[in-house]
Amino acid sequence: MTATELLAKYNVPVPRYTSYPPANYFEESFTAKDYETAVKASNSIGEQRISFYIHIPFCRHLCHYCGCNSFAMMSPEKIDRYVAAVHQEIEKTTQLIDSHRPVSQIHYGGGTPTVLPANVLKELNDHLLSAFSCINRPEIAIECHPGYLNENEWQSLAEAGFNRFSLGIQDFDEKVLKAVNRRPSLLPVESIIQILRQKNAGINMDLLYGLPLQSEKSFAKTVARAIELQPDRLVTFSYAHVPWVNKRQLVLEKTGLPDKEEKSRMYDKAKEILQQAGYQAIGLDHFVKETDELYFALQNGQLHRNFQGYCTRRTTGQVYAFGATAISQLSGAYAQNSKNIEDYTEKIESGFFPTVKGYRLTEEDRIVREVIETLMCNYSLNWQELSNRLSIPAEKIKQATAYNPALFSAFASDGILTFDENQMQVTPQGTLFVRNIAAALDKRMLHSDKSFSKPV
């Protein structure tokens, strides 16, 4: 099939599969008590390493495209109260976790975690680490908006213990940034990178395509500029336009969004120039240097994926999440906190976990989670290898999924995949549609009434 025909057929709403089942299957009947039980159980089921996620939902200005749980800045008192609640939540949760388990990862996301001063972030890190030991070189990562940070602030962040920084660039074209209500970097990005490199920190860069005023040519310029700066990892996010979930995105329709063909060309071109520059593709949208541990992990089958993005099995742990909207990802359950800052803070202050929904995974869910994660990370799947890893017969694994050879034959004749009864391999044209292939393995998608974004 031609690229245009593939887009016409496969650019339909499908889950992103940052979790399995996707977050819109979480149930309100999952209570704070269920979360407490799941945290206790997590000491004896599954991965022993611990990942912590902290959500800081505040932003200095809201970008029109934003799909994250982000809120305009509140008064200093309200922000202090929020941070105090996060400390309380850390205390309440870590008391339930076996202190012999090591911490492998801390990730701050948002919103914009860097609205908090470095000393406040350091206190949170110190609190998280006070009760546990760490693996060798744990990853301590933070998402940063470079529009508001001066030289001293970058220095202080690098001294606060962070060793991986994601710079939210989105686009280097200031016209595009203006159209989406976003400030460009305050410091030249070269200077930021110099400061962070002196501290031996890893540097990621987030780019976003599909925004107003972007074209294949303009986005290629942004990618070329990013390559000049040589981050270790570069993420090209496909803009997810879901105005029925985030009304603030509607305003972008007035300026006009690039059509799906242009958007797909932006991705193809970006991928081409990144690969020519020596970056290796990890999953759909991550590109890393050949020396990066994510690339080694890809080659050794050690790549893993959670709500925070790709990580290696070395740093992967069960995720205990803190803050409004944060989602814990334990071996046996997912649990999401209240999205409402007031509600979150009040629940914590009253001595309760702020869980509002969640999901207890069945044995079949856990199998399908492994199948989908393997496919999304590696673009390939070998049923026998999976069977050896999970100690479950390959036939039982297939039966847990919606695997249907007739449907996969159709994928194969469209040119997005090759397969036989033992394995499947996504083709280079198929990578854009790996979510569609994953959805074809998901029994829930046979009769789903949920809304999802499109792959492109």
Ligand X SMILES: C[S@@+](CC[C@H](N)C(=O)[O-])C[C@H]1O[C@@H](n2cnc3c(N)ncnc32)[C@H](O)[C@@H]1O
Give the footprint of ligand SF4 on this chain (CB under 6 A): 59, 62-63, 66, 68, 70, 110-112, 145, 168
Contact 61, 293 (CB under 8 A): no
Contact 15, 442 (CB under 8 A): yes
Among 46, 67, 102, 415, indicate the residue that binds ligand X (CB under 6 A).
Answer: 67
Decide if residue 320 touches ligand X (CB under 6 A): no
Backbone phi and psi for residue 135, each to the nearest 5 degrees, phi listed first: -70, 170
Of 139, 125, 114, the residue nearest 58 (C-alpha): 114
Residue nearer to ligand X on the CB measure, 66 or 456: 66
Whole-angstrom distance, CA of residue 234 vs CA of residue 280: 10
The reply to whether 184 sits near ligand X by the rule CB under 6 A is no
Q: Of 168 and 258, which CB lies nearer to ligand X in the complex structure?
A: 168
Q: Which is nearer to ligand X, 170 or 337 (CB)?
A: 170
- Which positions from 129 to 168 touch ligand X by CB under 6 A, shown as an x/- string? --------------x-x----------------------x
Per-residue contact track with ligand X, 329 to 368, x per CB under 6 A? ----------------------------------------
**22 is an interface residue for ligand X by CB under 6 A:** no
> In the bound complex, what is the minimum distance in angstroms from residue 339's beta carbon to ligand SF4?
14
Q: List, as own/partner pairs, every contact residues 5-12 make where C-beta atoms lie below 8 angstroms and the sequence separation is at least 24, other chains included.
A: 6/414, 6/415, 6/416, 6/429, 6/432, 6/433, 7/260, 7/261, 7/264, 7/456, 9/414, 10/416, 10/432, 10/433, 10/436, 10/455, 11/260, 11/454, 11/455, 11/456, 12/436, 12/454
CA atoms within 13 A on the CB side of 161: 19
Nearer to ligand X, 238 or 401 (CB): 238
Burial class (CB in 10 A: 0-12, 13-18, 19+), 126: exposed
CB–CB of 260/456 below 8 Å? yes
Residue 225: CB minimum distance to ligand SF4, A: 19
Beta partners for residue 425, in sequence order: 380, 418
d(CA 69, CA 336): 12
CB of 454 to ligand X, least distance (A): 11
109 binds, among ligand SF4, ligand X, none (CB under 5 to 8 A by kind): ligand X
Please pick, from the candidates 66, 297, 376, 437, the single residue that binds ligand X as defined by CB under 6 A: 66
Name the residue with the smallest CB distance to ligand X.
Answer: 168
> Of ligand X, ligand SF4, none, which one sits near residue 240, judging by CB under 5 to 8 A according to partner kind?
ligand X
> How far is it, in rounded angstroms, from Cα 290 to Cα 233?
10
Q: Which is closer to ligand SF4, CB of 59 or CB of 356?
A: 59
Residues that bind ligand X (CB under 6 A): 59, 65-68, 109-112, 143, 145, 168, 170, 206, 208, 237, 239-240
